[in-house]
Amino acid sequence: MRALFFALALVGKSAQVPRPSTMARILTQMGIPDPVETFEGSFYGVRAAVELNMRTRVAKVHLNGVPLGGRVSGTGWLQNAESESGTVVLEPSFEARLARRHVSIYSARLDRKGHTVTVHVKIPILGTLSLVLS
């Protein structure tokens, strides 16, 4: 029984939102708000909006469209918190809702100069797509 709880604790820890850096915590304590930018785009009847915290790089993702069966929202972040591109980690409930629709988000890249976010997704029938949000 202890092994089961230990395994669940490890799984739960790997899916936690990354902890803000020391500088981010200092700026927050000073009352300086986190800069949040919104990136939007659409593909095949699905509208995507991402509210990206530019300091922590944690994103609130909102998907809406008939192919998805309505609205789906959740939080995601990069596996490597110091990077601006790479493998995406989704909160477990968001990942489960997407999995029921046979959709997976597997990587993303922030382009600060071009002010875009490119998201690589896998969806039924169409396969792997790159969605550019601006």
| Res 39 pLDDT > 90 | yes
| Res 10 pLDDT > 70 | no
| Res 8 pLDDT > 80 | no
The label of the residue with tokens 């809406």 reads 64
Are 41 and 63 a contacting pair, CB within 8 Å? no
Mean pLDDT throughout 11-16? 50
Least confident of 14-18, 80-84, 100-104: 14-18
Among 22, 17, 120, 1, residue whose Cα is nearest residue 77: 17
CA 72 to chain centre: 12
Going by DSSP bridges, is the β-strand pair 116-123/70-78 parallel, antiparallel, or unpaired? unpaired
pLDDT of residue 21: 64
Rounded to two decimals, the pTM is 0.76
Task: Kindly report, residue by residue over 54-63, the tens digit of the pLDDT.
Answer: 888 899 999 9
Mean pLDDT of the chain: 82
Which domain range does residue 27 map to? Answer: 2-133
How many domains are there within the chain?
A: 1
